[in-house]
Structure 1
Amino acid sequence: MSRGFESHALRIFICTACINEGTSVSDQLRPRSSRSRKLATIARHGRLRRSNPFIALAKVLAASLAVVLVSGVSVAAIATYDVAASVQPDVKLANETAGPATSIDAIEGGVNLLIVGSDSRKGQGEAFGPEDSTGDLNDVTMLLHISEDHSNASVISFPRDLYVPIPECPDPEGGTFDSMSSQKINTTLTYGGLACTVLTVEKLTGLSIPYAAEVQFNGVIAMSTAVGGVPVCVAEDIEDEYTNTYLEAGMHTLEGTAALQFLRTRHGVGDGSDLTRISNQQVFLSSLMRTVKSADTLTDPLKVYSLAKAVTANMSLSTSLNDVSTLASIAVALKDIDLSKVVFIQVPTGTVDGGVEAVEPDFGDLFAAVAADASLQLGGTTGGGATVDPNAPVVAEPDPAATVDPATGEVADPAVPDPAVTDPSTTVLSDSVTGQTAGELTCSVGRTLDDQ
C-alpha cells in the first residue's frame, strides 16, 4: 500500500531579489548575556501537512491559471512551489491577515509585505563556505507596499547597519526574547527569526505588516538565469576582491553567480558602504523588473515557470502567504502597475558611531505618507551607488508655447507644477530620501581597488 500522497501544489508569489554581503556574527553581533549566546542555534520548527490528492490537483490547476493571468507582474518574479519537498515550514506572524477566498482576483485593499534576505549559508552549497561560517543575519530588509487602489507601489530598503529598538520577540523554541533599546536591524533575524524582523519594522514604521517572506542566495542565482540574464549598466569599473566581482564600464548581462555577486558587492561600488550598495541593488532590481515585464519573458511559458521554481526552494513564507489564492491575488494587484509608479526608496539616515540612524522628521514623514496610501515621488537623487544612464532616451522638454496662460499671456515656469493638475494624492518626499523608479534607466557607480 502507498503511504499516501504528498501535495505537489504550485504556489505563486512575488519576490524582490534580496541579497546580502556575507559577514560573520562575530563582526556584527556582540554577546550581551548567556541568553544571547544561544541565539545562533535557533531553529525553526514546523511540519509539512499531508493533503488530499484531489485538493492538491485543484491547487495545481488554480496556480497554473494564475501563472498565465499574473505573468505581467512587476517587482521581481513569479515564484512557485512544485514539489512538497521544496515547501518550507510556515512562519507565524503577530499581525497576520487571513487570505481571500480561493480566487485569482486582485487582493482587496493595500498590501504591506516584508521581504528579508538572510545571509545564512545553511543549504546554500559549498561555494558560500561552511554552513556554520555565519549566523543568520538579515542583511537585506525591504518593505513592499501596494496602494489600496493598486495604482502604485513602493519598495523601501532599510540599511543593515540601521540602529533600531527591537521589541520583545517570540522565541521559536518557546518563551520570548527581551526587548532592546538599540541594536542593528540585521540582528533581528537572529532574535526570533522572521517574525521578530516583522515586529521590529512594525514598531519602527508604525505600519501593520501581515505578510512576510525570507529569501536566500540560491533563489537569485536561479531567478537571474531563468530570465536569461539581467542587463545592467556600469558607469565606472567595479573591482571587488571580496565577491570576485570585476566589471568594466559598459553594459553587462548578468546571471547566476555573477548576478548574485553583483548584488552582494559593497567594496566595489560607491563609497564602499552599505548605503551605496543599496542604490547599486536598485539598479539591478529595476532592470530585473523591466526584464520580467518584457514580451521576451512573458510570452515564454518556460521562463515564467522557471522564475516561479527559482525562488520558492529558497524562501520561507509567513503562514498568511503560504496559500495559492493569497499569493496569486497579490500578484494580480501588482501586474498592471506602470513601471514609473513603482518606486525604490532608501530610508533617510545619518551616520553614527558604528552604523546609521533614522533622520527625523524625514523618516517619520516617509512612513506617514505610506500609511496614508499616498503615491510617492522622490525628491532626492539616485543615491551614491547609482547614477542616471547617460545613454537613456532623452525626454523632450515641453513646448513653452503650449504652457502660455491664455488669461495673462505669460509663459508658465515648467519647473513649477501647476496646482490645478497636480495629483493631490502624490507626496513629494524630502531630498534626503534617495532612490529611483523602476522605469528609470540608471548605471552603477563603480569603485576600483586603487580607491579601497
Structure 2
Amino acid sequence: MTSEDEHGDDNEGAARRGGRRHSLLKAAGVVLAGALVLSAAGAGWAYWHLNHNIKSVDINSALGDDRPAKAVTAPTASVSASASAAPLPSGAVNILVLGSDSRSGKANAELGGGNSSGARSDTAMVVHIDEGRTKATVVSIPRDTLVTRPSCPTSSGGTTSVAYNAMFNSAYSVGGPVCAVKTVESMTNVRMDHYIEIDFSGFAKLVDALGGVTVTTDEDIDDDKSHLHLKAGKHHLGGTKALALARTRHGIGDGSDLGRIGLQQKLVKALLKQISSTDLLTDPTQLYKVADAVTGSLTTDTGLDSLGELMKLGQSLKGLSSDEVNTVMMPVVTAPSDPNRVVANEPEASDLWASLK
C-alpha cells in the first residue's frame, strides 16, 4: 500500500468518524430541541392551567360609581423605553380578603360539610398596604358584627333590600362577593381596590404546599366541633389542622368570634414567615404546588384574575416582611340588642378606617 493509499484510508476514516460525530451531534440536537419543545409546552400548559384555575367577579362593573373614591397615589417612577419589564406598582392599595366557608366540591365538604348555597364569609380581613409597599395593616372584621347591609345588585339583574342590624357575613350569603365588597365599603367609607377569596380546601392545600406553618398557642385548645386539640405552646401544623385553628372558636376564650380572630392573625403572620423562608424559585415542583393550591381555590376581582397580575402583586410586595405587618381587629362593643353580637365601637372604628385612606 502506498502512502497515498494510506492517506486515502485515513481521510476516509476521518470522514466516516466525522460523519458519525455529525450524526451524533445532529441526533443530540434533535433530542435537545425536542426536549426544549416539550419543556416549553409543559411550561405553557402549566401557565394555562394556573391561569384558568382563577375565578373572577367583575365588581367594578357591578357597583359602578356608587363607591368611595379611589385613593390618590404618587405616580410610578418612569422607566426608559428600552427597559425590558414594566415597573411594578408601588402605590397604597386596599384588598378585601375573605375566607369563604363554601363547602362546594368534595374537598371542601370533607373539611366542613354543608353546601355551597349556604356559603358565608367565615373570615374577613381588610389588608391595607402602605405607599411603597413595605408596611401593611390587616384589619379583621368580626363576622358577628351587626351592620346596615346596603342594597346590592344581584347576578339576575335585580337588587337586594337594605337590611338593618344584619350579620356582617350575611352580605356574602345574599349577594356574593359584590355585596361583601359593597357592605365593607359602606361601613368603612374606604374603597376596596381588589377582592380576594379563598375557600377551605385552598387554604389547607396552600399550608401543605408550603410544608406547614409554625404557630404558638397561648392556651390549651379543646374544640370537638373543629376537631382540634392542642396544648399551649409551639406547634407545626399541616393544612387540615391549620384550617381547624383558623375556624375554632368553642375551645378558646368565651367561645365568641373575637377569640378566633386572634388565632387567625397568628396564622397570617405564620404564613408570611413560612413563605419568606421558603425559596420557591429554586424548587419548581414546590413552586407549582403552591401556585396550584392558591389559584385552584381563588376568586378575585377582574383586576387580579390572571397569573400575570397576581405575580405582579406578589413581586411588588417583596420588600414587605412579616415584622412590618400590623394585625388589628376593628374596635367593637357588645350589641345593645343582642349579647351574642357586636357593633362597631365609635369613634375608634371610624378613626381606624380613616387611617387607611
Q: Which runs of 5+ in 2 are unaligned?
A: 1-39, 71-75, 77-83
Q: Which runs of 5+ in 1 are unaligned?
A: 1-56, 65-79, 372-452
Aligned counterparts, 1:130-145, within 5 A: 131-132=114-115, 135-145=118-128
* CA displacement at 1:298 relative to structure 2: 5.8
Q: Which of the numbers 299, 302, 309 marks the counterpart of 2:292?
A: 309
Indicate if the aligned counterparts of 1:226 and 1:310 stay in contact, CA closer than 8 A. Answer: yes
* CA displacement at 1:304 relative to structure 2: 2.7
Q: Aligned equivalents of 1:149 and 1:108: distance in 2?
A: 5
Change (3 A) 1:360 1:131: closer
Match of 1:384 in 2: none
Name the count of aligned residue pairs: 295
Match of 2:103 in 1: 121
* CA displacement at 1:104 relative to structure 2: 5.6
Residue type of the alignment partner of 1:155:
V
* CA displacement at 1:269 relative to structure 2: 2.1
Change (3 A) 1:298 1:278: farther
State, as a whole percentage, how many aligned pairs show the same letter.
36
1:158 counterpart = 2:124? no
Residue type of the alignment partner of 2:355:
A
Change (3 A) 1:110 1:81: farther
* CA displacement at 1:202 relative to structure 2: 0.7
When structure 1 is superposed on structure 2, of 317-326 and 138-147 the one drifting more is 317-326
Q: Which of the numbers 65, 81, 92 marks the counterpart of 2:59?
A: 92
* CA displacement at 1:199 relative to structure 2: 0.7
Residue type of the alignment partner of 2:49:
D
Give the structure with the larger helix fraction: 2
1:369 counterpart = 2:351? no
Indicate if the aligned counterparts of 2:50 and 2:296 stay in contact, CA closer than 8 A. Answer: no
Aligned counterparts, 1:50-449, within 5 A: 82-83=49-50, 86-93=53-60, 94=63, 105-125=87-107, 126-128=109-111, 131-132=114-115, 135-295=118-278, 299-352=282-335, 353=338, 354-371=340-357
Indicate if the aligned counterparts of 2:54 and 2:305 stay in contact, CA closer than 8 A. Answer: no
Change (3 A) 1:257 1:333: same
Q: Aligned equivalents of 2:87 and 2:221: distance in 1?
A: 44
Q: For residues 132-156 of structure 1, what are the alpha-carbon distances to aligned partners after superposition, in whole Å with 9 as ceiling and x for unaligned?
A: 3870111211111111222311111
Q: For residues 376-432 of structure 1, what are the alpha-carbon distances to aligned partners after superposition, in whole Å with 9 as ceiling and x for unaligned?
A: xxxxxxxxxxxxxxxxxxxxxxxxxxxxxxxxxxxxxxxxxxxxxxxxxxxxxxxxx
Change (3 A) 1:338 1:232: closer
Change (3 A) 1:325 1:127: closer
Change (3 A) 1:180 1:113: same
* CA displacement at 1:302 relative to structure 2: 2.9
Residue type of the alignment partner of 1:119:
D
* CA displacement at 1:235 relative to structure 2: 2.9
Q: For residues 137-182 of structure 1, what are the alpha-carbon distances to aligned partners after superposition, in whole Å with 9 as ceiling and x for unaligned?
A: 1121111111122231111110000111111101112211122232
* Paired residue secondary structure (2:172): coil
Indicate if the aligned counterparts of 2:104 and 2:116 stay in contact, CA closer than 8 A. Answer: no
Indicate if the aligned counterparts of 1:347 and 1:358 stay in contact, CA closer than 8 A. Answer: yes
